[in-house]
Chain A
């Protein structure tokens, strides 16, 4: 066990060194998601100048500030709309939105379903920790029924979203769900999404021991991670509508992997066509 000063953590090349260590709680899954994302970028040997990470508001929102790439931390829920502007303005960029379940599917839900519908070439990674962590643990669009949060003190009475079903139904061409304990598969899945053209969505169920776990009988990160390990079953390309997420069972895996012309491809195709016609017209 050695503490060399000059040996750097392999991922530090991809991080904004000055900002590490990050602000997330002990055991929070966001760090694992960030590591998995940077690992995927490393494996693909991507050009760091051509990646833009956009994040919304919430714990995971801070992730944009931790990557050594062009990044933007938008207002709550607007990451995907902002990313749309970036991607269309410069389609050469790989635009990755990393945000939370509340940001993407509560306030930002409208932008998510439309971006998926348009199949614009944006990659979305959702850190789903079942609640609004940053603001102290309120119920969110994915909070399981009967779960306790600060704004559902008597147990959550709302039926949560099935995110992969929502993404698939909206038209995303790559949809997958993993958990932070299946980090190797998550990295492989992110790699696959990054290499694929079109709207990609990966839901990562991640532990939030300090805020969510504390109120739902899983006080430590280990308890949550072991729970994830116990209840997850992999059913690749099964019906996303039946991809259950409950206390007893979480269905993970890749659900959609299809090809569909992307929004910006058709747009730039049209522009080229319009300009050609205009030139002939002269």
Chain B
């Protein structure tokens, strides 16, 4: 039985969101499972947001920022990278597959890469099966 995962994506305004727009203007097709939230910088992505997304029922979370060295705000993406790694370790302890969270660098010209990323990540999450987090949280006994 196939299920359609829901993926919440946090995209930085300057590179990745623009890249996603480019995928759109270029009419590239990609999986509709992703829901994008715009932040000014990937450095704004608070772990709280990521955890909340799972709590609300996301099956995967994608964070995209400018390539290292390209951050519009100099180093926000590095901050994000550091948090990502710590979150990954936390995830393992919480029984969440590390693939439930993905960080990728997408520049403003990488519309194609964004579309491909969405497709491949959707596939990855699909293979992981539905994330039970929301259900577990709601039915704690």
Q: Do A and B truly interact?
A: no
Binding site for B on A (CB under 8 A): none
Binding site for A on B (CB under 8 A): none
